[in-house]
Amino acid sequence: MADEWQDPYDFAVEVAKIAGKIIRRAAEEEIKVNTKSCTVDLVTATDVRVEKIIIGAIKEKFGEDTHCFIGEESAAAKGPSVLTDKPTWIIDPVDGTTNFVHGFPFVAVSIAFAVNKELEFGVVYSCFEDKLYKARKGKGAYCDDEKIEVSDIKDIHKSVVISEFGTNRNVDVVTEICATMKRILLIPVHGIRGTGTAATNMCMVACGAVEAFFEIGIHCWDVAAGAVIVQEAGGVLLDVDGGPFDLMSRRMMSANNRTIADRVIKEIKIFPAERDDGK
Least distance (Å) between residue 165 CB and ligand G2H: 10
Amino acid at 78: K
Determine the Cα–Cα distance for residues 198 and 253; give it in Å rounded to an integer: 11
Q: Which CB, 15 or 153, lies closer to ligand G2H?
A: 15
Determine the Cα–Cα distance for residues 183 and 134; give it in Å rounded to an integer: 33
Options 51, 72, 120, 232; binder of ligand G2H; rule CB under 6 A: 72
Options 51, 73, 92, 232; binder of ligand G2H; rule CB under 6 A: 92
Determine the Cα–Cα distance for residues 83 and 25; give it in Å rounded to an integer: 33
Options 50, 91, 153, 218; binder of ligand G2H; rule CB under 6 A: 218
The length of the chain is 279
Does 120 sit near ligand G2H (CB under 6 A)? no
**Is 41 labeled as ligand-binding?**
no
| CB-side neighbour CA atoms (13 Å) of 143 | 20
Options 22, 181, 198, 230; binder of ligand G2H; rule CB under 6 A: 198
Element housing 91 (H / E):
strand 88-95
How are strands ordered across the β-sheet holding 236-238?
Answer: 191-193, 160-162, 212-216, 251-255, 236-238
**Is 72 labeled as ligand-binding?**
yes
Q: Which residues bind Mg ion (CB under 5 A)?
A: 92, 95, 222
Apex CA 243: angle with CA 206 and CA 236, to 5°?
15
Least distance (Å) between residue 72 CB and ligand G2H: 6
Q: Which CB, 156 or 181, lies closer to ligand G2H?
A: 181
- Listing DSSP states for 164-199 in one string gives ---S---HHHHHHHHHHHHHHHTTT-SEEE--S-HH
Distant-in-sequence, close-in-space partners of 74: CB < 8 Å, separation ≥ 6: 51, 55
> What number of chain residues touch ligand G2H (CB under 6 A)?
10
**Is 130 labeled as ligand-binding?**
no
Does 20 sit near ligand G2H (CB under 6 A)? no
Assess whether the previous peptide bond of 188 is cis (omega < 30° from 0): yes
Does 229 sit near ligand G2H (CB under 6 A)? no
Does 51 sit near ligand G2H (CB under 6 A)? no
Does 95 sit near ligand G2H (CB under 6 A)? yes
Annotated binding site: 72, 92, 95, 222
Site residues for ligand G2H per CB under 6 A? 72, 92, 95-97, 197-198, 218-219, 222
Annotated binding site for Mg(2+): 72, 92, 95, 222
